[in-house]
Structure 1
Amino acid sequence: MTPPHGELLPATRRALLHRIATAQAEGRTPSLVAAVVRGGGMVWSGSRSCVDGHAPDDNVQYRIGSITKTFTAVLVMRLRDEGVLDLGDPLEKHLPGTGAGHVTVRELLAHTGGLAAETPGPWWERTPGSLRPELSDVLGEQPFKHPSGQRHHYSNPGYALLGSLVEEVRGAPWEDVLRREVLEPLGLHRTSGQPTAPHAGGWAVHPWADVMMPEPAEDLGRMAPAGQLWSTTGDLARFAVFLAKGDERVLRADSVLEMRTPAAPPESAEVAEGRAYGLGMQIQHRDGRILVGHSGSLPGFLAGLSISVDDDLAAVVLANSTSGPLVTTVAGDLVRIVAEAEPRIPDPWRPLSEVDSGVLELAGPWYWGTQAAVLRLATGGDVELGPLSGVGRRSRFRANGDGTWTGLDGYYAGELLQAVRRPDGSVSHLDLGSFVFTREPYDEGASVPGGVDPERWRALPQ
């Protein structure tokens, strides 16, 4: 086994091993391999049973199924960040003639385009992609099950369309683009469209007897962007770090944050289960934390990737059986075990290395009407605005370099924050998307919509 990046306590390591051992035994899978990531590297890995007579390690490939979709989504987000396309663009603008051209790129990413869940004809995951050489074979004569934009309906053909979009814009096969723009920059050298040794074989385990049957490993053809990839726990550990923090060589931090943000209206069952979907990423509220990532399955294989950004933790679980262990649940359990046994130690507080006096002047309490808020300085010239106490509208703002800031998240995402100054240079108020924040509740010296009563504040006679 590859030595781990760091150290966990012996009791934590035993709890992790116990969890995957239970999953492998109760799930009746030929093998199961897992890894935990913290601090930007792998801190634990483990496996149960064997592949080709040997215990699998973090270099053994398994098929990862729909985790492939997250890789495809990264490619599409790169196109958006380059200005090649907008997520609101209809597909027809960049990939004409599909018969699904009115669906937007964002809707395809979030599975809200209304497309069918599966392709027509034989089970696409267990039959050669040569049976579906054209997109028309992937979509069929009636590709839509719902009006576009109205509900979340998971669609494998939708990601086949996104893969074809990447090919059309880049002028190269999807896998070639993926390798050049994502896999190689991130050092994911054991992630590929076809298996390379050492790799696990896929198996079907009889539901009522302890016997097995090998599963076919088909080339999915046009459906490859929805589920083709093979990978390892080592590579997926590195991919998890990227999905949590971004990498300027591939996709910046705010773009991966956008991928991790709910983008689809959840169904009632999903609400009850704390589930949502972003742009190529699944989101789940579990054990009091938010887990993001993706699950994957193809005949013979199960895969799960779960990331808790707040805990600086991620877990990967891979198995080589068609059904059995709930690997995404296991991955979430591995995150929970470490988070509870060895809580994240906060980074040490350090003062800012430099600060703009004009920005420092804005720090402190502000009032929208009678509601108190506080503006705090953050790193890199960013600022944060949120309630003075309790819950309320809270957002972080990125400095634009011209004395204004743009909201990155929360209620004010995308809104412009600026300090409005008087002729003498003193600050009159903050303007935030037409909201006026003043230094005093209804400050008479500032521009307050509706005006300020000339008698100001008063006590009422008893």
Structure 2
Amino acid sequence: MTSPQEELLPGTRRALLHRIAVAQSEGRAPSLVAAVVRGGRMVWSGARTSVAGEVPDGDVQYRIGSITKTFTAVLVLRLRDEGLLDLADPLEKHLPGTGVGEVTLLDLLAHRAGLAAETPGPWWERTPGSLRPQLADVLGERPLVHPVGRRFHYSNPGYALLGALVEKLRGAPWEKVLRREVLEPLGLHRTTVDPVAPHAGGWAVHPWADVMRPEPLENLGVMAPAGQLWSTTDDLARFAAFLAAGDDRVLSAESVREMRTPAAPAEAADVADGYAYGLGLELRHQHGRALVGHTGSLPGFLACLTMGLADDVSAVVLANCTSGPAPFTVAADLVRIVAEAEPCLPAPWRPLREAGSAVLDLVGQWYWGTYAFGLRLSADGLLALEALSGKGRRSRFRLDGDGGWVGLEGYYAGEVLTPVRRPDGTVSHLDLGSFVFTRQPYEEGAPVPGGVDAEGWRGIL
């Protein structure tokens, strides 16, 4: 995966190296490795370490914790795309006897099932999975702590249930299904359930002294689908490219786009922090840009994969310490450095090959009441509605088979924009979910709800 470092300018590469050097030093991490992806390829990688002469590279494994959840979500979406399940299905339909069968698969993927955040008993991340051999052991006697579907509440046991679902429908262990259906097709040969040399050791650094001790490395058992995996910056760079564009051997571009769409009710604190959750992916805002990916941590390790899709820049950060550098903050900074220093060049403008008069009749200025809007036909064949004041509802629309245009985003997502024509074929007005758009504000003769005052426009009497 590694590409020539010269793909980024020397000043950009220096800024990236400086950022991870500060993170490793101030975060007191035994080692920290990072990579940047652009155009589907790794364009930079770097590492800092406390051990002279032993700088880790893109082939050294680190534990990635909850980034594992994204891999598990991909497996569930594959099952959906094959028609073996619907995300609206209750868990009981496919995995009976859990005691929480009323939760839907979508609830589990989006952390809105109301399940507890952690397992009962000793901390599952630092104890062997043999202490929790069954799903009942990770759910406990009180698995639900919130009403189902009402709020976002991150749940590790929820992803253990999804892993068990994959095993039930595939008839094979989760790790074997993952390797066969995701890791091998994408070439992620250094992503494994158990560590394979070369790999970093996990360390706890004393909070008040520059000393450290090793953390235990446990197999998580049935909790593995929530956080078991080990990986490398090279492999996660490939995985980031997949999550940005899809790969029909694994999951289509449409399905990975669905993973990146918010699916959980946001809490007030999450809204303030610019945080939302899709299907196995975290959605955040940092430095004024939208970022999608996942963070991960297990005792001894910190990890982050994040993607700035608008800038076509993704970053991976891995460290081998329990606490220290904030991996999301570092990864977001790497995205920002590249996006600001070397912004993407826009694609060349190209005209449509053809556009019929029936569509051209729709473009231009329209009014909803006294609000002015512009309707534009773009080279991708979509209609784009924008408020001319700069404030107001906006959406793009795709032509459907019945002559209407279906909204793709925002308030009008799923709503139909219908051109209404006069007997002579000219456009009278647009109907958008009962909203009437006319060529003039409150145009006489148009079916404006509430009617139009016959005395017309006038000043104050």
What do residues 319-369 of structure 1 show as CA deviations (whole Å, max 9, x unaligned)?
111222111111111112222222332222222234344333322222222
**Which residue of 2 is the match for residue 92 of structure 1?**
92
Distance 2:256 2:21 in 1: 33
Q: Distance in 2 between matches of 1:420 and 1:192?
A: 58
Q: How does 1:2-81 map to 2 (within 5 A)?
A: 2-4=2-4, 7-49=7-49, 54-81=54-81
Tell me the SS of whatever aligns to 1:381.
Answer: coil
RMSD: 2.5
Quick check: 1:267 aligned with 2:264?
no
Matches of 1:379 and 1:70 in 2, distance apart? Answer: 34
Give the whole-Å Cα distance in 2 for the aligned partners of 1:337 and 1:110.
Answer: 30
Instruction: State the distance in 1 between where 2:402 and 2:299 align.
Output: 55
Residue identity in the other structure for 1:175: E
Question: How far apart are residue 89 of structure 1 and its match?
Answer: 2.7
Distance 1:355 1:137 in 2: 62
Contact kept in structure 1, 2:2 and 2:41, CA below 8 Å: no
Aligned to 1:211: 211
Separation in 2, partners of 1:170, 1:377 = 46
Worse-superposed segment, 148-157 or 205-214: 205-214
Q: Deviations over 1:66-95 (max 9, x none)?
A: 011112222223334444433333222222
Distance (Å, rounded) in 2 between the aligned partners of 1:320 and 1:164: 29
For each residue in 1:398-428, what CA deviation from the matched residue of structure 2 results, as whole angstroms up to 9, or x when unmatched? 3434433332221112223333334444333
Contact in 2 for aligned 1:398/1:406 (Cα 8 Å):
yes
Cross-structure match for 1:459: 458
What is the letter of the counterpart of residue 457 of structure 2? R
Gaps of 5+ in 1: none
Report if the CA contact (8 A) 2:350-2:379 is conserved: no
For 2:372 and 2:251, locate their aligned partners in 1 and report how far apart those are by CA, in whole Å: 36
User: What amino acid sits opposite 1:208 in the alignment?
Assistant: W
CA distance in 2, matches of 1:46, 1:433: 52
Specify the alignment match of 2:416 in structure 1: 416
Matches within 5 A, 1:218-233: 218-233=218-233
So what's the TM-score if we normalise by structure 2?
0.91
When residues 137 and 380 of structure 1 are mapped into structure 2, their CA distance, relative to the original with a 3 A threshold, is same
> For 1:142 and 1:16, how far apart are their aligned partners in 2?
46
CA-CA distance at 1:6 after TM superposition? 5.7
**Structure 1 residue 375 corresponds to structure 2 residue 370:** no
Shift of 1:461: 6.5
AA aligned opposite 1:342: E
| C-alpha distance 461-21 of structure 1, shift in aligned 2 (>3 A) | closer
Task: Call closer, same or farther: CA 1:34–1:409 in 2, change over 3 Å.
Answer: same
- Separation in structure 2 between the aligned mates of residue 147 and residue 395 of structure 1, nearest angstrom: 33
- Structure 1 contact 6–42 (Cα < 8 Å) conserved: no
Specify the code of the residue in structure 2 equivalent to 1:30. P
- Displacement after TM superposition at 1:302 (Å): 0.8
Distance 1:387 1:48, change over 3 A: same
Query: Is residue 2–residue 234 contact of structure 2 (8 Å, CA) maintained in 1?
Result: no
CA shift for structure 1 position 453: 4.0
Correspondence for 1:143: 143
Give the 3-state SS of the residue equivalent to 1:310 in structure 2: helix
Please list every run of 5 or more consecutive structure 2 residues that lacks an aligned counterpart in the other structure. Answer: none
- 8 Å CA contact 1:58–1:234 kept in 2: the answer is yes
**Is the contact made by 1:317 and 1:330 (CA closer than 8 Å) also made in structure 2?**
yes
Equivalence map 1:116-131=2 (5 Å):
116-131=116-131
Give the match's secondary structure for 2:318.
strand
Whether 1:277 aligns to 2:277 is yes
Q: Which amino acid aligns with 1:197?
A: A
| Contact 2:351-2:379 within 8 A present in 1 as well | no
Supply the distance in 1 between the matched residues of 2:50 and 2:182 (Cα, whole angstroms). Answer: 30
Instruction: Write the mapping of 1:296-335 to structure 2, written as runs, cut at 5 A.
Output: 296-335=296-335
**Which residue pairs with 1:168 in the alignment?**
168
Shift of 1:108: 1.5
| TM-score (normalised: structure 1) | 0.91
Q: Do 1:428 and 1:445's aligned partners in 2 also have CA atoms closer than 8 Å? A: no
* Residue number in structure 1 paired with 2:152: 152
| Cα shift at 1:151 | 2.2
1:429 corresponding residue in structure 2:
429
2: CA distance, partners of 1:374 / 1:154: 41
Instruction: Please report how far the alpha carbon of residue 65 of structure 1 lies from its aligned counterpart in structure 2 after TM superposition.
Output: 0.5
Task: Give the Cα separation in 2 of the matches to 1:295 and 1:286.
Answer: 14
Which segment drifts farther, 220-229 or 198-207?
198-207
Distance of 2:429 and 2:248 partners within structure 1: 35
Residue 445 of structure 1, CA deviation: 4.8
In 2, are the aligned partners of 1:61 and 1:231 still within 8 Å (CA)? yes
Report Cα offsets for 1:290-341 as digits up to 9, x if no partner: 2221110112211011221122211110011122211111111111222222
Alpha-carbon offset, residue 443 of structure 1: 3.7
CA contact (8 A) 1:51 1:200 kept: no
Residues 350-369 of structure 1: matches in 2 within 5 Å?
350-369=350-369
User: For the residues of structure 1 that align with 2:55 and 2:313, how far apart are their CA atoms?
Assistant: 25
Deviation of 1:395 after TM superposition, in Å, equals 1.6
Cα distance in 2, alignment partners of residues 443 and 239 from structure 1: 54
Q: Write the distance in 1 (CA, Å) between the matches of 2:34 and 2:121.
A: 35
Q: How many residues align?
A: 461
SS in 2 for 1:258: helix
SS of the residue 2:120 aligns to = coil
